[in-house]
Amino acid sequence: MMLPDYTVKNRERDIHVPNFNLRVGALELIENGELRLIHRRRYGLVGNNGIGKTTLLKAMAHFEIEGFPRHHRVLHVQQEVRASEKSVLQVVLDSDVERKALLAEEAQVLARLNARAKAEEASQVEGTPVGSAEEDRESDQERLALIYERLNIIEAHSAEGRAASILTGLGFSLDMQAGQTDALSGGWRMRVSLAAALFIEPDLLMLDEPTNHLDLEAVIWLQNYLQNYKHTLIVVSHDRAFVNEVATDVIHFHNKKLIYYRGDYNNFEGTRKEHLRTQKRAYEAQRAKIAYARVHRQVQVQCEASIARSIKNQRT
């Protein structure tokens, strides 16, 4: 996950990028498309195989779409974690790079503050000045307050318990959680990757075929978990029943555009079929109108020709 930019003033939770293009080399996948994601809604992204769904998700995750807001934590889950000697639980905990960086910086700031306090104490005993110690201490204290504020927002205090609970839901026993990831098969490492994503809880979570390596019990747990997800979600899956259970909206990637439908997958199918039937009726009505006009014109031409012949015969 790429770290977001929190210095921007606009911290809007919804995502709206109008009139964007997406291409791979000379191939244009989206032309003047609109990206419209509402906070806390869950989207099923559907479209023909090879149309570019995964490419679109990757572009969002790497902030490669012009105008895409940079203050969101965005994560695209597609591949398994690398084999490692670390325990499964530790890999999940370490996956939140922001939390890890904040904890490391917290330790550094606290070390500086402690060292400065000892230096001040020694200077008071010896009667020697410490220089700009007061200004440096205030700067570190301000930074420490910001670190604690951010750690609180991402719920760092409950990290280990949340990670263990997610792993349990995805089928990991306590022994498996304590075991090394390099002892796991590719399918189980994919579950670790999924667990890490759920643990991070990004502002925009994008899951690519998340049920591929899950048994029925884990699939049911995952869909129940995602139904209560606190942020925005995009799911790509061939498991239509899963999408139907999770999605509040559907995005149809079609003809270089993103078309939005409210409701689950069944609602999307019904609405689209009705739309296609309406289009077909309109097309057939237009063809019938054109055919009628053509026949009418032919009859008119024949009548005009017949009248012309009659007039000619009368004159002769």
Residues 54-91 pLDDT 10s? 999 999 999 999 999 999 989 999 878 888 899 999 99
Secondary structure (H, E, C), 147-176: HHHHHHHCCHHHHHHHHHHHHHHCCCCHHH
**Position 160 pLDDT exceeds 60:** yes
pTM for the full predicted model:
0.77
CB 72 within 8 A of CB 204: yes
Chain centre to alpha carbon of residue 201: 11
Question: pLDDT tens across 186-196, in order?
Answer: 899 999 999 99
Share of the chain above pLDDT 90, in %: 60
Third-level CATH fold of 1-73+204-263: Rossmann fold (3.40.50)
State the average pLDDT over residues 40-50: 95
Confidence band for 282, pLDDT divided at 50, 70 and 90: low
Mean pLDDT of the chain: 88
Q: Tokens for 280?
A: 């077909």
Phi first, then psi, for residue 285 (nearest 5°) are -65, -40
**Position 121 pLDDT exceeds 60:** yes
CB 159 within 8 A of CB 96: yes
* Residue 149 CB coordination number (10 Å): 9
Scanning 62-127, the segments in alpha helix (DSSP H) are 88-95, 97-126
| pLDDT score for 222 | 96
Helix (H) or strand (E) holding 290: helix 265-315
Read off the amino acid at residue 260: Y
Q: Which residue has the higher pLDDT, 65 or 125?
A: 65
Instruction: Measure the CA–CA gap between 43 and 37, rounded to whole angstroms.
Output: 8
| pLDDT score for 220 | 95
CB 200 within 8 A of CB 75: yes
Residues written for the chain: 316
Question: pLDDT tens across 8-34, in order?
Answer: 777 789 999 999 999 998 899 999 999
| pLDDT score for 242 | 95
Q: Which residue has the higher pLDDT, 295 or 115?
A: 115
- Domain borders along the chain are 1-73+204-263, 97-153, 279-316
**Position 247 pLDDT exceeds 70:** yes
| pLDDT score for 312 | 73
- Which residues 6+ apart lie within 8 Å of 28 measured at CB? 21, 22, 256
What pairs with residue 24 in β-bridges? 27
